[in-house]
Structure 1
Amino acid sequence: MKKIELDIVALSHSVTQSHNYAVVLGEQHGSRRLPIVIGGFEAQAIAVAMERMTPNRPLTHDLFKNTLETFTIDLKEVIINNLLDGIFYARLVCERNGELFEIDSRTSDALAMAVRFNCPIFTYEFILDAAGVVLEEPEAKASTRGSAGTTSSRRKRQSPAKGATLSSYSVEELNRLLDDVLGKEDYEQAAKIRDEINRRKEQG
């Protein structure tokens, strides 16, 4: 079967399941999107890797990555290979000493590993046909412009206050605050704190 490459295009709260998140995968050479509901822990694992954050202690997916690398096993790609009763299935395609082998995985875990190894994510046509949604270009662009304008105006009102608040913390306090907001899965605020920490490092 022909494989279709996907990119992670969004990670947000699920509108249908309040305690879960939705990771949205986009067709690399097309307009279809594949939304997958995942748990909060897996969402945190994906977000931390995407934002290039380094927790004080390794998360479960970091530990698995370190283990694979210790035994010179490389994750070549992730394949979302099946969809049964609304549940997505995935496999990790690994390579060691020129030999390829596959490991069964939950899709959320597979995505968290793909981000860490910076490896491609694939699926098949029948899965996109069954669970994919088509992005309607004109409406999407109009919506994006409207949202961007609203978000921009909000940021103009909010940024100075938030910037002033973060600037009053020491680096040690910022690191503690970062751990706290990561525990609450507030990834947007975590990214801002990370940027403030990086800014301090550049100045120092």
Structure 2
Amino acid sequence: MSLVRLNIKGISYSQTQNGAYALILNEVDGDRKLPIVIGAFEAQSIAIALEKEIRPPRPLTHDLFKNFADRFDVIVKQVIIHKLVDGVFFSSLICERDKIEEIIDARTSDAIALALRFEAPIFTYKNILDKAGIYLKVNPSSDDENETKEDSILMDDVMAGELEPAIRDNYGDKSIDELEKLLDEAVANEDYEKAAHIRDEISKRK
């Protein structure tokens, strides 16, 4: 079975499942997206890894794993989403130590959080993408009548092409100084998701 490389398109709050987030993986050499429902803690951990400039005051669980692995010369070489059963994705960490390769079972959300920290590529098998991959469209035109129903699937409102941010606060009326203060407060409170959005707003201003 051939492997397909994926990257992370974004994370958004799922309106259909309370406390759940939708992680969207994008086919590198194609247009399909692979949506995966993950928990709030894993969503925050992935968000903090994506936002390089935000440093938590204490290591998160996935940071601790990375520090532990670094100390004992363990490398995560790649992550493979290898199975889909009843809507649940199963993943493996391909690790290496002393040139010996090991395969470790992991939840997909944990595997991706670690892949980001190790800068390891993420893959899935083509048959999984064929089964669960979707096309997200922002404005489907009326000329697309011959396209399959699968092409216009909307996983839920937040995944309909334009992913809505999980944090809906409007920071447009805040000054840079106010945003910097809010950023410090969010990090101190370990609200990394909010911190990521504030950091985005600061980056736009600069």
The bucket for the TM-score relative to the shorter chain is: 0.7 to 0.9
Cα distance per residue 1:23-54 (max 9 Å; x no partner) = 00000000110000000000000000100121
Partner of 2:122: 121
SS of equivalent residue, structure 1 residue 186: helix
Pair 1:30 & 2:30 matched:
yes
Query: In 2, Cα distance between the equivalents of 1:94 and 1:168?
Result: 38
Structure 1 runs not aligned, ≥5 long: 141-146, 148-156, 200-204
Partner AA of 1:30 in structure 2? G
Contact 1:26 1:33 in 2 (8 A): yes
- Alignment match, 1:50: 50
Looking at structure 2, the residues matched to 17 and 174 of structure 1 have their Cα atoms a distance apart, in angstroms, of 28
Match of 1:64 in 2: 65
The answer to which structure has the higher helix fraction is 1
The CA deviation at 1:75 is 0.6
How far is 1:176 from its partner? 3.0
- The one-character-per-residue Cα deviations of 1:92-140 (angstroms, maximum 9, x if unpaired) are 0011111111110000000100111111000001111221102458739
TM-score by length of 2: 0.76
Give aligned-pair identity as a percent: 43
> Structure 1 length as normaliser, TM-score?
0.77
* Residue identity matched to 2:185: R
User: In the TM superposition, what is the alpha-carbon distance from 1:185 to its structure 2 partner?
Assistant: 3.6
Cα deviation for residue 188 of structure 1 reads: 4.6
Length, aligned pairs only:
179
How do 1:41-190 residues align onto structure 2 when only pairs under 5 Å count?
Answer: 41-52=41-52, 53-136=54-137, 139=140, 159=172, 161-163=173-175, 166=178, 169=181, 174-180=183-189, 182-183=190-191, 185-190=193-198
The verdict on how the C-alpha distance between 1:64 and 1:194 changes in structure 2, with shifts beyond 3 A counting, is farther
Greater relative contact order, per chain length (Cα 8 Å cut-off, separation 6+): 2
